[in-house]
Structure 1
Amino acid sequence: MPVNQHEIIGVLAQLAEEREIKVAVTESLKGAALVGAATFIGGILLGPLGLAAGGIAGGITAAASSKNSFRPVAKVILEDMSPKQQALLASRVHNILREFNVTDLVLLLPIIQGNARLGEAVMSALLGFIQSEMNLRLM
């Protein structure tokens, strides 16, 4: 059975889920600004002790606010990518699969998992796409 776009996207999502790859969906600059502001205010109000207290409070607040700011790549692939982005990603991976003569869906996942070079090439294409085309930062 020949490999099509939807099957490639499904396999990529499964591979990303198995490897537990996540992306940051908010900027870390926001957390840094929060810590900086809390440290500054603590320092103004309580002096040197306030710097420490403000830094701790800001750090805890930044960590709590960023709790849900990491998203599994599998969900990004299946839920956040537009059909156009999915098609582009699938096309890139399909070109890699052609180089390795992979043409059968039934064999696709086992071949990718069993062939280190192919697995690395596919994951590299996926992660490169996530970073360059979607401007997301990998965690």
Structure 2
Amino acid sequence: MPINVDDVMQLYCHLAQKKGMKAAVKHTGRGALVVAASTFLGGLMGGPPGIVIGGAFGGLLGAWMTSGQFRPVPQILLELPPAEQQKLYDEAAVILRHLDWTDVAQLTALVMRYANLQQKLTAVLKNYLTKQLKAKIQHRK
């Protein structure tokens, strides 16, 4: 049966929840923007000393913003844009192509029955999170 992207996202969410996966995604672009904006504003308001103060303040704020907060992986997956969800779908479709199922509940039950399928899909998910999103991952053993 052909699988759709939403089914695969639900399956990944179920796996991540069962493994207790959390990820901290760093937002380096936002941090850099904060540093630049605060340095610029400091320069406008205080001249050269304002640049120093604005840069220091922005650097601290930017570092705090990019430290990343651990969030549940299912939440991160559901917030992904469709193009990113498609990437995860494409990798799962290769792994799941030989299964016979009728709905997402049956698909999830099949995957949860086979440890090797769980391992393959979890590896795809971890690889995506660490390489594409540059996230740190925590999970139960």
Match of 1:91 in 2: 90
Runs of 4+ in structure 1 displaced over 6 angstroms? Answer: none
Q: Summarize deviations over 1:58-111 as a string: whole Å, max 9, x none.
A: xxxxxxx9xx811110100002x111000110111111112xx11423431111
List aligned pairs for 1:90-129, cutoff 5 A.
90-98=89-97, 101-104=98-101, 105=103, 106-129=105-128
Structural RMSD (CA): 2.4
In structure 2, what residue type is equivalent to 1:124? A
Percentage of pairs with the same residue: 25
Q: Taking structure 1 as the reference length, what is the TM-score of the superposition?
A: 0.63
Distance (Å, rounded) in 1 between the aligned partners of 2:137 and 2:109: 25
Match of 2:18 in 1: 18
Distance (Å, rounded) in 1 between the aligned partners of 2:75 and 2:100: 26
Gaps of 5+ in 2: 28-64
Distance (Å, rounded) in 2 between the aligned partners of 1:12 and 1:103: 18
Q: Contact between 1:8 and 1:90, CA under 8 Å: does it hold in 2? A: yes
Distance (Å, rounded) in 1 between the aligned partners of 2:85 and 2:133: 11
Q: Contact between 2:130 and 2:137, CA under 8 Å: does it hold in 1? A: yes
Gaps of 5+ in 1: 28-64
Distance 1:95 1:77, change over 3 A: same
